[in-house]
Every structure is written in C-alpha cells, then in structure tokens.
C-alpha cells in the first residue's frame, strides 16, 4: 500500500490501515521516544500516546510537507508536554564553559550506553540536548517550545554536555583499566 | 588509539537516526484505545446530533411552556420522550459491540489454532532463542541483517506471510522455552560479547544489563503469560483472538523495515519538521496549546430578521385579529463572543440590536377623544388623539347618543380601509447559546440552541395611508425584559486558521413579550445572520 493510500484509509479510521501505519513507523518513533524519555517504560507510554494522537488527528494532515516529519513532530511534542513542566534544579553558573571534546578510542561506545546516559539526564537537560544536538533545533526554537529563555536553553545544553562527557570518560577509563 | 571527538558528534553518530522496536503490548493498548474511541463515536454522534438537538428543543419548549402556560401535561410528555431516548441508546450500544466481538472471535478461531500448531512444531526444530531476544534490542545494522536474512529464500507474494510466521516462531520459542527466559541475561550478555565487545569487563556488563534486561524482560514477560494462555485455553475464543493479535503485533518491527525499504518518504530531517510545524500548527502543537491559543472567537454579525406571529390575535387590539397581518423584514446587527469548550462544542454570548416590525392592514383612521382610542397605546396624556379602528367601524357607528357620546366627536382621517398600522420594536439581545459542530472541516455545519434575553429599547406604533404617516405612540403592553428560545443551524467556511465566514439561520421564539397575557400574539423571528469570526 502506498503511503498516500494508507493515510487516506487512516483518515477513515480503518483499523487495518492504522496497524500498517504503526508497523511502518513505530520503529522510528520509538527511537525518538527512547531518547526523549527517562526510561523504556515511559518511552512506550509516550509512543502509545503519540500514536493515539496521530490516529485521532490524521484528518488534519493535509499532505503538505513530509508525513514522517509530521508524525515525528507529534511524537516529540508528546514527550515535551510531559517533561517540560518539571523543574530542573538549575546550577547554571557552575563550570559552564569547558572543553566539550572527549578522547575516544577507535572502538565505538555502545549505543545502549549512550542511550542510557541520555535517559539519565534530568528532564529538561535531556529535552534540550535531544532537540539541539540530535534534532537540530535552534536555541531560540527550543526556548519557545519549552517556555524557557534562550540563555537557559544554552546553559542547559552546556550542563548536559558536561554530564554526558563525564560519564563517557568514566566509561572509557574503566574499559581501559580492564584491558 | 585515541581520537578527539566532540561530544555532540559522538551521540549524533549513533543516536540521530536510531530506531527501536517497542514491545508488542504497546500496539495492543493503542488498538484498545482506538477501538474504544470508535465505539464511543458510534454511539455519541447519535446522541449528540439527534439527542442533543432533541434535548435542547425539549428543554427550551418546556421552559417556554412553563413560563407561558404552566400546566403538568407538558412535563409528562417530555419525561416519556427522554426515557425513549435512553432505551434506544442502550440497544444501540450493546448489540453492535457484541456482534463485532463474536464475529472477530469466530473468524480468528481457525487461523490461530493452525498457527499455534505450526509454531510449536517449528519451535522444536529451532532452538537458539537468545538471538531473538537480542534482536529486540535496537541496533540498526543488526536489523538490516536480519531483514536480509529473512528475505532470502522467500518469494514475492509470500513475503509478508512468512515474515509473520517466522516472527511467531521466535516469540513462541522465547516463551515456551523457559530455559531461555530463565537464563536470559547470561545469554544476552554472551551474545553481546561475541558480536561487539571482545574485552568485556564487569562494569560494562553492569552498565548494559539494565537496558538489555529491560528490553528483554518486558517483551518476554508479556509473551510468556499470553503464550501460556494461548496454549492452555484453546477453547476460549476471546483469548485466542487476543493472542492472534499479539503475534501480529510482534511482527511489527520487521515488516516495517521491508516497507520502509520500498518507501522513499524519508524526509530530510529538519526542514520537513519545520514545514510540518507551519502547516499543521493545529495538529502538531499539543492539544493543550491549541486550547490556550485559540479558545476564543469574536464574530461581528448582521442579518435580515423576519418577524411573525404564531398566534391568532393581534398585539394591538383584539379587534384586529382577523385583519391582514404581516411581519416586516428588518435588520439585526451585533457582536458575538464564543468560547470553545472542546473541538466541537462552544458556548457563546454577545450583544446585538434587533429591530422588528409588524404591519396590520385593513384599518381606518380618525382623531377623537382618548377614551375611545386604542387602549394598548400610551398617548402621553393627550385628550384628543389620532387612533385606528377596524375597517368599517366608522361607517357603522351607532346613532349618536348626544353631547356625552365620545363617538360623536370622531373626525375620520382615512376610511378607505387601505391604512396600515405598523408596530416597530427595537430590542437589545443578549444570547446564551451552545453550538455543536456536526461537521468540522473547512466547511462546517453546526447546530445551535439557547436562550436570549431581550431588553426593550424602543417601540413605536405608527399609521400609514399612502403618503400620510403619523405616530400614535408607544405600545404600553410590552415587557421591558423578555426572553426567546433559539434554535438554528450554522454553516461556516474557514478562510484560514483564524478567520471564518458564518451564515446562521436562526429561529427565535419569544416567550413573554407582552405584559398582558390575554394577547394571543405569539411572535417569533427568523434571522439569517452572517458574519466573520476571528479566532484568538
């Protein structure tokens, strides 16, 4: 079934089409959910909420712009809604500007580990890091989406980079020790 | 060997376009939620559309009747009709659901049994369950490999089917093979070590375990319980249906990849996201934000109003009951403010000025003493006034009784019978109405019901005969505050997100326009209001 047809059938609330759409996109969207949520269970909750929103509002998708972009945006929004209101204990003045580079060996750091330390970030840090680094939003856009200032977005990003960097470095040194 | 890398790059490399397979129960919950939604929808529109209109009408008429002529009869009839509604609803909601359930259960019966048997056979052949567990974890490269492996040896048409079967194997393996479950963590560790990390150490395993285990244990715990249910309760139809679904859902992750391969819809990330934002603000931006930003609407509107009478009598004088009477066409204009309670329902109020006019024909005019003039007119203390009589009155006056007879002092002005008596009213109207959207696309259809309070602003009774025109005075039998019950249909066309053009034919029935209850004049007016709504 081509995408266009699938969307049309989903607009008519056909359960088969909904299932096909889910099969086609659950992987991509669950990837997003895992990055934006603190753990797998909440990621699954968010994926579920996102799909329900998509199915309910698919009638409003007018075929302008990429469909995948549209559903990704809904998914990101689902997570934002849930986590943006939680306050972050802001320690913005502490060691803000540091070298954001890490020594990495040729061997890559496992994806599971990277995902885990992203999930462990405080909610707002995690959102800002994802939006800026992985999804390419500007600080201005992030500020609007999260209802914070540009400056807060920048300092949140710097803080999250530092936290992640420390964890990656600790991981690498542990690994080297055992070699 | 070590290289310097920006922390962002490190994450981008692996996580930017990463995909993962959610556990099957996510789809089950979504399906359940959508099914519920659908069932609700099946029942609710009937309720809302017909029942809602009926309820509003019933309410308004009840209120209207209670105000106009309070008696118990009406009350009883409305209660009966409400009960009818309820019973209808129950029937509607019960039968279709049951039917569906049974049909689905029956249709899935055969297939599941076969599948289960097939699954079990295959399970005995294949043994290495741990691999499938690892496949649940999320490695793009691995997924692709698996996809390829699956495709090998599979011919075109059967692709999807076989994919399903293969996936089912794996799930059943995982479930029924209790060993595999029990030793999950070791096996996953082991396989991880093989493929990825040759020099694994303790800390690393600790770090990875929570993730691996989570993925695995969530998936398996569900599979085991449902799988067991499947095998032990073959006779239970509903259970079978469920497990069938579970199996289908398990295939989700893989068939997705096949489809994705043929599908070049992959966007170029950023841009498309922004396009989507701009074009679909309503959709993409969370519901909450929608409500925050676009809950209010202001609509300046105007329209012609036709005033008419459902009763038999005349508002001016019972003598005119059988005269020709006709409503005039006037204008109403005003501003409405509405608040959107949800996507479909909105509450609105406002202020408008409504002008109404009513003409009574077949009268004669004369000046005479106020004692014999129309009683419903306030002449403001004058003793000799212009007044109106039913056609033929002046020609057939009783013989004069002498000095004291007021009729003797009559001075006819117009006896042709062509004169008209015109009553003009001006009200300030404050409506309180509910609007429900039946169709809510670019072109929308709504039902509207509610009440208006009318504050009498100005009123005047005048007479006209050809060129001659004079004012008699204001009517003195009008209530300064009265009410109308309103029903109507609204059509709108959404020009853009903020701007909407409306046309609303409304029927408004006046409940208590006259202070004199003996007047058998039951006025209503029909307005065709049009206006532009601004959302903000």
Calculate the alpha carbon distances from A149 to A38, A137, A154, B103 in Å: 23, 14, 9, 56
pLDDT at B111 over 80: no
Tell me the per-residue pLDDT of A37-88, one tens digit each, with 9 for 90 and over: 999 999 999 999 999 999 988 888 887 888 999 999 999 999 998 887 766 5
pLDDT at B48: 56
Give the one of A23, A57, A111 whose C-beta lies nearest to B252's C-beta: A23
Contacts with B7 from chain A: Cβ below 8 Å = 100-102, 161, 164-165, 168
Size of interface A-B (CB pairs under 8 A): 231
Are B14 and A104 in contact (CB < 8 Å)? no
Give the one of A51, A100, A109 whose C-beta lies nearest to B6's C-beta: A100
List strand residue ranges (DSSP E) for A53-175, in order: 101-105
Give the one of B8, B34, B272 whose C-beta lies nearest to A18's C-beta: B34
Lowest mean per-residue pLDDT among A35-39, B215-219, B344-348? B215-219
Q: What band does B253 get if pLDDT is binned at 50, 70 and 90? A: very low
Residues 30-69 in B contacting A (C-alpha not used; CB under 8 Å): 30-31, 33-35, 37-38
pLDDT, average across residues B310-315: 79
Are B267 and A66 in contact (CB < 8 Å)? yes
Contact criterion met (CB below 8 Å) for B138 and B19: yes
Q: Angle at which helices B24-45 and B237-250 pack, to 10 degrees?
A: 120
- Candidate ranges A88-102, B389-403, B511-525; pick with highest mean pLDDT: B511-525
Closest CA to A17 of A32, A2, A33: A2
Parallel, antiparallel or unpaired: strands B411-440 and B345-369: antiparallel
pLDDT at B209 over 50: no
Distance from B505 to chain A by nearest Cα, in Å?
28
Q: Is the pTM of this model over 0.80?
A: no
Strand partners, B452: B431, B484
Tell me the per-residue pLDDT of B135-147, one tens digit each, with 9 for 90 and over: 444 444 444 444 4
Are A66 and B272 in contact (CB < 8 Å)? yes
pLDDT at B85: 45
Closest CA to A31 of B137, B33, B151, B192: B137
Contact criterion met (CB below 8 Å) for B38 and A163: no
pLDDT, average across residues B196-225: 42
Percentage of chain B exceeding pLDDT 90: 13
Q: Using alpha carbons only, how large is chain A's radius of gyration in Å?
A: 19
Contact criterion met (CB below 8 Å) for B364 and B387: no
Residue B262 near chain A (CB below 8 Å): no
Residue B285 near chain A (CB below 8 Å): yes
Residue B107 near chain A (CB below 8 Å): no
Closest chain A residue by Cα to residue B35? A15
Lowest mean per-residue pLDDT among A16-20, B254-258, B311-315? B254-258
Structure-model confidence comparison of residues B328 and B243, the more confident one: B328
pLDDT at B77: 44
Residue B208 near chain A (CB below 8 Å): yes
Contacts with A30 from chain B: Cβ below 8 Å = 19-22, 26
Structure-model confidence comparison of residues B365 and B81, the more confident one: B365
Query: Which uninterrupted H or E stretch holds B530?
Result: strand B523-535
Residue B264 near chain A (CB below 8 Å): no
pLDDT at A92 over 60: no
Are A31 and B20 in contact (CB < 8 Å)? yes
Give the one of A13, A41, A164 whose C-beta lies nearest to B38's C-beta: A13
Structure-model confidence comparison of residues B335 and B118, the more confident one: B335
pLDDT at B13: 85
Q: What SS3 state is found at B138?
A: coil
Q: Can you tell me the distance from the alpha carbon of B53 to that of B76, in angstroms, rounded to the nearest whole number?
A: 19
Lowest mean per-residue pLDDT among A97-101, A130-134, B296-300, B457-461? A97-101
Contacts with B5 from chain A: Cβ below 8 Å = 101-104
Distance from B358 to chain A by nearest Cα, in Å?
48
pLDDT at B463 over 50: yes
CB atoms within 10 A of CB B410: 18
Tell me the per-residue pLDDT of B129-184, one tens digit each, with 9 for 90 and over: 444 444 444 444 444 444 444 444 444 444 454 445 544 444 444 444 444 444 44
Residues contacting residue B532 through CB under 8 Å, at least 6 positions apart = B299, B300, B499, B500, B501, B502
pLDDT at B335: 92
pLDDT at B489 over 90: yes
pLDDT, average across residues B363-371: 81
DSSP state of B466: T
Residue B26 near chain A (CB below 8 Å): yes
Q: What band does A97 get if pLDDT is binned at 50, 70 and 90? A: low
Structure-model confidence comparison of residues B492 and B379, the more confident one: B492
Q: Can you tell me the distance from the alpha carbon of B396 to that of B24, in angstroms, rounded to the nearest whole number?
A: 95
Contact criterion met (CB below 8 Å) for B500 and B493: yes
Contacts with B204 from chain A: Cβ below 8 Å = 171, 174-175
Which of A24, A81, A141, A176 is best to mutate for the B interface (most B CBs within 10 A)?
A: A24
Q: Can you tell me the distance from the alpha carbon of B381 to that of B388, in angstroms, rounded to the nearest whole number?
A: 18
Q: Can you tell me the distance from the alpha carbon of A76 to that of A68, in angstroms, rounded to the nearest whole number?
A: 12
Are A116 and B11 in contact (CB < 8 Å)? no
Q: Can you tell me the distance from the alpha carbon of B218 to that of B221, in angstroms, rounded to the nearest whole number?
A: 5
Q: Can you tell me the distance from the alpha carbon of B256 to that of A19, in angstroms, rounded to the nearest whole number?
A: 11
Q: Can you tell me the distance from the alpha carbon of B65 to that of B72, in angstroms, rounded to the nearest whole number?
A: 10
pLDDT at B8 over 90: no
Q: Rounded to the nearest 5°, which phi and psi values hold at B31?
A: -60, -45
Q: Can you tell me the distance from the alpha carbon of B469 to that of B463, in angstroms, rounded to the nearest whole number?
A: 6
Q: Can you tell me the distance from the alpha carbon of B521 to that of B425, in angstroms, rounded to the nearest whole number?
A: 15
Closest chain B residue by Cα to residue A113? B208
pLDDT at B406: 62
- Candidate ranges B41-50, B400-409, B516-525; pick with highest mean pLDDT: B516-525
Closest chain B residue by Cα to residue A38? B211
**CA-based torsion, A166, A168, A169, A174: positive or negative:** positive
pLDDT at A96: 52
Residues 219-258 in B contacting A (C-alpha not used; CB under 8 Å): 248, 251-253, 255-257
Residue B170 near chain A (CB below 8 Å): no
pLDDT at A133 over 50: yes
Give the one of A48, A55, A179 whose C-beta lies nearest to B29's C-beta: A48
Alpha helices in B126-198 (DSSP H): 130-136, 140-151, 159-176, 178-182, 184-195
Average pLDDT, chain B: 66
Strand partners, B525: B307, B508
pLDDT at B436: 92
pLDDT at B370 over 70: yes
Give the one of A27, A48, A72 whose C-beta lies nearest to B273's C-beta: A72
> Which residue has 């992640």 as its token pair?
A164
Residue B141 near chain A (CB below 8 Å): no
Structure-model confidence comparison of residues B398 and B150, the more confident one: B398
Task: Give the ipTM of the model, two decimals please.
Answer: 0.87
pLDDT at A121: 92
Tell me the per-residue pLDDT of B36-77, one tens digit each, with 9 for 90 and over: 877 665 555 555 555 666 666 677 666 666 666 655 444 444
pLDDT at B319 over 60: yes
pLDDT at B482 over 80: yes
pLDDT at B196: 42
Are A48 and B26 in contact (CB < 8 Å)? yes
Calculate the alpha carbon distances from B399 to A94, A161, B329, B417 in Å: 112, 111, 42, 21
Lowest mean per-residue pLDDT among B14-23, B316-325, B468-477? B316-325
List strand residue ranges (DSSP E) for B329-410, in order: 329-340, 345-369, 384-390
Q: What SS3 state is found at A65?
A: coil
pLDDT at B252: 41
Are B20 and A34 in contact (CB < 8 Å)? yes
Give the one of B2, B12, B273 whose C-beta lies nearest to A103's C-beta: B2
Q: What band does B486 get if pLDDT is binned at 50, 70 and 90? A: very high
pLDDT at A12 over 80: yes
Are B14 and A23 in contact (CB < 8 Å)? no
Contact criterion met (CB below 8 Å) for B506 and B480: no
Query: How does A42-69 read in b/e, with b if 16+ C-beta sit within 10 Å?
Result: bbbbbbbbbbbbbbbbbeebeeebbbbb
Percentage of chain B exceeding pLDDT 70: 49
């Amino acid at each position: 079934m081509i995408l266009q047809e699938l969307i049309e059938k989903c607009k008519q609330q056909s359960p088969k089409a909904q299932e096909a759409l889910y099969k086609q996109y659950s992987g991509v969207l669950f990837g997003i959910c895992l990055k934006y949520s603190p753990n797998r269970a909440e990621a699954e909750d968010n994926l579920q909420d996102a799909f329900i929103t998509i199915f309910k509002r698919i009638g409003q998708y007018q075929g302008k712009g990429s469909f995948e972009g549209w559903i990704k945006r809904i998914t990101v929004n689902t997570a934002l809604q849930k986590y943006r209101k939680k306050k972050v204990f802001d320690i913005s003045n502490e060691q803000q500007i540091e070298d954001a580079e890490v020594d990495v060996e040729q061997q890559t750091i496992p994806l599971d580990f990277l995902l885990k330390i992203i999930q462990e970030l405080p909610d707002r840090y995690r959102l800002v890091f994802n939006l800026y680094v992985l999804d390419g939003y500007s600080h201005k856009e992030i500020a609007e989406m999260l209802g914070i200032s540009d400056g807060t977005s920048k300092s949140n990003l710097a803080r999250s980079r530092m936290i992640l960097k420390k964890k990656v470095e600790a991981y690498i040194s542990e690994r080297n020790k055992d070699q | 060997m070590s290289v310097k890398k920006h922390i962002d790059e490190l994450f981008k490399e692996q996580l930017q376009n990463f995909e993962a397979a959610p556990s099957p129960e996510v789809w089950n919950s979504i399906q359940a939620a959508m099914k519920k939604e659908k069932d609700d929808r099946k029942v609710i529109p009937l309720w809302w559309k017909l029942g809602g209109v009926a309820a509003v009408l019933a309410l308004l008429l009840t209120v209207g009747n209670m105000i106009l002529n309070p008696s118990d009869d009406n009350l009883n009839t409305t209660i009966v009709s409400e009960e009818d509604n309820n019973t209808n609803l129950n029937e509607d909601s019960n039968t279709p659901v049951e039917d569906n359930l049974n049909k689905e259960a029956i249709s899935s019966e055969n297939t599941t049994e076969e599948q289960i048997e097939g699954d079990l056979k295959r399970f005995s052949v294949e043994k290495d369950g741990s691999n499938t567990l690892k496949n649940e974890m999320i490695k793009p490269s691995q997924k692709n490999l698996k996809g390829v492996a699956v495709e090998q040896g599979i011919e075109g048409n059967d692709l999807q089917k076989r994919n399903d079967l293969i996936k089912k194997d794996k799930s059943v393996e995982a479930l029924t093979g209790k060993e595999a479950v029990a030793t999950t963590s070791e096996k996953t560790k082991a396989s991880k070590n093989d493929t990825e990390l040759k020099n694994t150490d303790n800390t690393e395993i600790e770090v990875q375990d929570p993730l691996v285990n989570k993925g695995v244990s969530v998936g398996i715990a569900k599979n085991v319980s449902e799988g067991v249910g499947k095998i032990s309760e073959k006779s239970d139809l509903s259970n079978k249906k469920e497990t069938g679904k579970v199996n289908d859902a398990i295939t989700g992750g893989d068939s997705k990849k096949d489809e994705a391969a043929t599908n070049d819809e992959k966007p170029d990330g950023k841009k498309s996201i922004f396009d989507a934002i701009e074009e679909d603000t309503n959709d993409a931006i969370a519901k909450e934000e929608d409500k925050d930003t676009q809950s209010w609407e202001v609509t300046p509107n105007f329209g012609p109003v036709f005033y008419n009478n459902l009763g038999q009598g005349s508002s001016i004088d019972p003598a005119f009951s059988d005269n020709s009477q006709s409503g005039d066409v006037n204008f109403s204009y005003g501003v409405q403010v509405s608040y959107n309670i949800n996507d479909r329902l909105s509450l609105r109020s406002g202020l408008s000025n409504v002008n109404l006019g009513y003409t009574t024909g077949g009268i004669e005019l004369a000046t005479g003493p106020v004692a014999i003039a129309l009683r419903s007119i306030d002449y403001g203390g004058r003793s000799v006034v212009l007044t109106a009589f039913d056609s033929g009155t002046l020609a057939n006056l009783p013989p004069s009784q002498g000095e004291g007879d007021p009729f003797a002092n009559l001075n006819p002005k117009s006896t042709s019978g062509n004169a008209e008596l015109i009553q003009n009213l001006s009200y300030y109207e404050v409506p309180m109405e509910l609007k429900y959207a039946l169709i809510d696309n670019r072109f929308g259809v709504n039902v509207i019901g509610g009440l208006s309070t009318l504050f009498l602003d100005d009123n005047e009774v005048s007479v006209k005969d050809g060129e001659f025109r004079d004012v008699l005075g204001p009517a003195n039998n009008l209530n300064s505050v009265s009410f109308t019950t309103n029903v109507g249909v609204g059509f709108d066309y959404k020009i853009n997100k903020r701007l909407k053009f409306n046309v609303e034919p409304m029927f408004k029935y006046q409940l208590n326009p006259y202070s004199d209850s003996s007047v058998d004049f039951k006025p209503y007016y029909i307005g065709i209001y049009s206006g532009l709504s601004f959302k903000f």
